[in-house]
C-alpha cells in the first residue's frame, strides 16, 4: 500500500501562515519574514513546485507596474517545460504587492529579476534554501517538519474537494493525469477523519 501523502489541515495551514507573518510575536526582520511568508503562500495557494518558486521572476506576476490576476509560468520555469497560468487568490496578490514594496522597488528589480532572493546581488534563493526554510519554520510553528511539496499536496487536495480532476491536472501542470490521481486516494487527513468518526457521540444530558 502506498504511503499517504502529507497534507495539512485547514487549522494547520492557518497556524503555519500566522507564524510566518511578519507581525507574529517574536518575529525578526520584516522584509525576510514577509518574503518567507509569500513563498509558503504561493505554494499553498497556487501549488507551485519548489523549483518553480526558486525560478519565478517579477515578470511572471507583473506587467510593467501593474500586477497580473494570474501567475504566468513560462516554459523556462516549469518542470514539464510547458506554460501554465494559475489565477491568484486575493491574499496571494496582496502578499506579492507587499513584496514589491519591500523588495522589488527598493532594489530597482527588472522584470527578468528573480522574485525571491537573498541580500547579495539579487541572487535567487536555491531550492535547498527554500526547503530548509519550510522545514525549520514548519517545525517551529507546528511541532513537526514538512517539506515544500506538502504545501503543493495541500493545494491539490483542497482543489480536489471542490472541482474535477482535469482542472486540478491543469493547475498543477501534470503531463499525465495519472500523476494527479494520487489526490483521489486517501491522505493523512482522510484517515484521521475516518477514525474520528468512530468516536462515540456524547449523549445530551437533557
> Does residue 2 fall inside a structural domain?
no
CA 33 to CA 118: how far, in whole Å?
A: 12
CA distances (Å), origin 50, targets 23, 100, 158, 167, 193: 25, 20, 19, 21, 29
DSSP 152: H
> Does residue 49 fall inside a structural domain?
yes
| 152 assigned to active site | yes
> Does residue 203 fall inside a structural domain?
no
Helices (H), the chain: 10-20, 30-46, 50-55, 90-99, 127-142, 148-160, 165-172, 177-180, 188-196
> Does residue 38 fall inside a structural domain?
yes
> Does residue 66 fall inside a structural domain?
yes
Give pLDDT tens digits for 134-155: 999 999 999 999 999 999 999 9
Give pLDDT tens digits for 59-90: 999 999 999 999 999 999 998 888 999 999 99
Active-site residue, selected from the candidate residues 27, 31, 32, 149: 149
CA 132 to CA 102: how far, in whole Å?
A: 23
> Does residue 202 fall inside a structural domain?
no
Q: How many domains does the chain have?
A: 1
Active-site residue, selected from the candidate residues 49, 55, 124, 158: 49
| 91 assigned to active site | no
CATH number of 22's domain: 1.10.443.10
The total of other beta-carbon atoms located within 10 Å of residue 110's CB is 11
> Does residue 117 fall inside a structural domain?
yes
Active-site residue, selected from the candidate residues 84, 152, 153, 158: 152
Compute the mean pLDDT over every residue in the chain, rounded to the nearest whole number: 87
| 31 assigned to active site | no
Active-site residue, selected from the candidate residues 75, 91, 128, 185: 75
| 174 assigned to active site | yes
Residue 2 has pLDDT above 60, yes or no: no
Mean pLDDT of the 47-65 span:
95
Domain that holds residue 80: 10-189
Name 85's bridge partners: 72
Give pLDDT tens digits for 156-165: 988 888 888 8
> Does residue 56 fall inside a structural domain?
yes
Give pLDDT tens digits for 171-200: 888 878 887 777 766 666 767 777 777 787
Active-site residue, selected from the candidate residues 16, 27, 183, 203: 183
Amino acid at each position: 500500500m502506498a504511503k499517504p501523502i502529507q497534507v495539512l489541515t485547514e487549522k494547520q495551514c492557518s497556524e503555519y501562515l500566522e507564524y510566518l507573518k511578519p507581525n507574529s510575536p517574536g518575529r525578526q526582520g520584516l522584509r525576510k519574514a514577509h518574503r518567507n511568508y509569500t513563498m509558503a503562500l504561493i505554494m499553498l495557494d497556487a501549488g507551485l513546485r519548489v523549483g518553480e518558486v526558486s525560478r519565478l521572476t517579477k515578470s511572471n506576476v507583473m506587467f510593467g507596474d501593474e500586477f497580473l490576476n494570474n501567475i504566468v509560468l513560462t516554459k523556462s520555469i516549469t518542470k514539464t517545460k510547458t506554460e501554465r497560468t494559475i489565477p491568484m487568490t486575493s491574499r496571494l496578490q496582496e502578499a506579492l504587492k507587499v513584496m514589491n514594496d519591500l523588495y522589488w522597488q527598493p532594489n530597482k528589480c527588472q522584470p527578468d529579476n528573480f522574485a525571491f532572493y537573498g541580500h547579495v546581488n539579487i541572487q535567487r534563493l536555491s531550492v535547498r534554501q527554500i526547503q530548509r526554510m519550510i522545514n525549520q519554520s514548519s517545525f517551529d510553528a507546528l511541532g513537526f517538519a514538512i517539506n515544500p511539496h506538502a504545501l503543493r499536496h495541500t493545494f491539490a487536495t483542497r482543489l480536489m474537494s471542490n472541482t474535477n480532476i482535469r482542472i486540478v491536472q491543469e493547475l498543477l501542470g501534470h503531463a499525465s493525469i495519472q500523476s494527479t490521481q494520487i489526490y483521489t486516494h486517501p491522505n493523512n487527513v482522510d484517515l484521521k477523519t475516518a477514525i474520528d468518526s468512530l468516536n462515540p457521540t456524547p449523549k445530551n444530558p437533557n
